[in-house]
Amino acid sequence: RKEVEQDPGPFNVPEGATVAFNCTYSNSASQSFFWYRQDCRKEPKLLMSVYSSGNEDGRFTAQLNRASQYISLLIRDSKLSDSATYLCVVKRGGNTGKLIFGQGTTLQVKP
Amino acid sequence: EPEVTQTPSHQVTQMGQEVILRCVPISNHLYFYWYRQILGQKVEFLVSFYNNEISEKSEIFDDQFSVERPDGSNFTLKIRSTKLEDSAMYFCASKVRGGTEAFFGQGTRLTVV
């Protein structure tokens, strides 16, 4: 079983739509959780950290359910510029802990 | 804005040759990482480095790989004898002590022919 699993998509949505991505992780020792964004052939960039209490950054809302080992990302009012691959990432092992990436979910926002 | 820089952006090498990929982490960062991404696949952890030694390495990081911080600014990844399956994008990342965010360089695309 993969340590971090995501639906690869692609998700094709019109501008203005709301879209949700889900992710599950298998290792209960995972300590920190993130959503990264990756544009084609570019480096991953941190979109937001994910907390159990849920957190919001503008049009983006992330949620963590530790009991179910489930992470979500909601994007409201999608823009063309949101088109990218969204990577679910978990971290274990304290301060030097490696990042474990999911396969990524591809989003294509169309006019 | 400070950034992680990697050179070269693209390297083509013949199978069996040695390559060195270079990274300059953000200056006050103390934790350094190499990741790779084979085309169409997920980003995979290779190695983490702290206090001038490897703190963790993956199964991918076998005896053909080594890392070094030769001069206090550069952080290098060496592949001694490249194989076709080493073709990938290699990302360097760095992080401050106590920080949660790892900052990634723009990557080096390695093509082994």
Q: Per residue in A27-64, pLDDT tens?
A: 888 889 999 999 998 999 999 999 888 899 999 999 99
Residue A92's pLDDT band, with cuts at 50, 70 and 90, is: confident
- Other beta carbons within 10 angstroms of residue A100's beta carbon come to 21
Residues of chain B with pLDDT under 50: none
Q: Is A44 on the interface with B (CB under 8 A)?
A: yes
Interface membership of B38 toward A (CB under 8 Å): no
Read off the amino acid at residue B90.
Y
Phi/psi of residue A33, nearest 5 degrees: -140, 140
In the predicted model, is pLDDT for residue A95 greater than 80?
Answer: no
A67: helix, coil or strand? coil
Instruction: Indicate if the pLDDT at residue A93 is higher than 70.
Output: no
Residues of chain B contacting A100 with CB distance shorter than 8 Å = 45
CA distance B12 to chain A (A): 17
Assigned token pair, B41: 């696949």
Residue of A nearest to B99 (CA): A95
Cβ atoms A25, A4 nearer than 8 A: yes
Concatenating the DSSP letter of every residue in A11-52 gives EEEETT--EEEEEEE--TT--EEEEEEE-TTS--EEEEE--T
Q: Mean per-residue pLDDT for A66-80?
A: 96
Chain B partners of A97 at a C-beta cutoff of 8 Å? 48, 56
Preferred mutation among A96, A103, A105, A106 to probe B, highest tally of B CBs within 10 A? A96
Distance CA A31, CA B113 (A): 40
Q: Over the stretch A79-88, which tens digit does the pLDDT of each residue have?
A: 999 999 999 9
**Contact with chain B for residue A86, Cβ under 8 A:** no
Average pLDDT taken over every residue of chain A = 93
Query: Shortest CA distance to A91 belongs to which of A49, A36, A33, A43?
Result: A33
Per-residue pLDDT at B97: 84
Q: For residue B83, how far is the Cα from the chain centroid?
A: 17
> Alpha-carbon distance B18 to A13, whole Å?
45
Tell me the two tokens of residue B63: 């005896």
Residue A70: predicted pLDDT: 94
Query: What does the block give as tokens for B48?
Result: 């983490």
What chain B residue is nearest to A48 in terms of C-alpha separation?
A: B101
Q: In the predicted model, is pLDDT for residue A9 greater than 70?
A: yes
**Does B44 contact chain A (CB < 8 Å)?**
yes
**Whether pLDDT at A94 is above 70:** no
Residues 6+ apart with CB under 8 A from A96: B31, B48, B50, B55, B56
- pLDDT above 80 (res A111): yes
Residue A96 has pLDDT above 90, yes or no: no
The answer to whether residue A77 scores a pLDDT higher than 70 is yes
- Count each helix (H run) and each strand (E run) in chain B, helices first: 0, 11
**Which chain A residue has the Cα nearest residue B32?**
A96
* C-alpha distance from residue B16 to each of A20, B65, B84, B90 (Å): 45, 13, 9, 18
